[in-house]
Amino acid sequence: MDVCNFCGIQLEVDSVFSAKHSMLNSSAINFINEKLELNLPGGCTKCIRKEALRAHEIGSREDDIKSKEFLWKRSWLPMTSSGISSN
């Protein structure tokens, strides 16, 4: 089982449950660092979720294409309530 180097959470491979965590790829990390002027070395969808959301907010306000590219694919972010159902 993979573990996040940064927060230590266990990363789950694809499962039927939506509450899985995975490492963010480097373009996502770069995007976050750029938008928030941070210098994060990396992280998973748990430990930098807040940053990712904030970066996305900024990006979408700027109508940044990268923001959409980066986060629309990532259904783990509750951008819209329709993506995740708790049924």
23 backbone φψ class: left, alpha, beta (φ>0; ψ -120 to 50): beta
Cβ closest to Zn ion, residue 36 vs residue 64: 36
Q: For residues 45 and 67, which CB has a smaller minimum distance to Zn ion in the complex?
A: 45
Residue 28 makes contact with Zn ion by CB under 5 A:
no
Q: How far is the CB of 69 from Zn ion (least distance, A)?
A: 22
72 binds Zn ion (CB under 5 A): no
CA dist list (Å): 41 to 1, 29, 47, 59: 21, 8, 12, 20
Interaction site with Zn ion (CB under 5 A): 4, 6-7, 44, 46-47
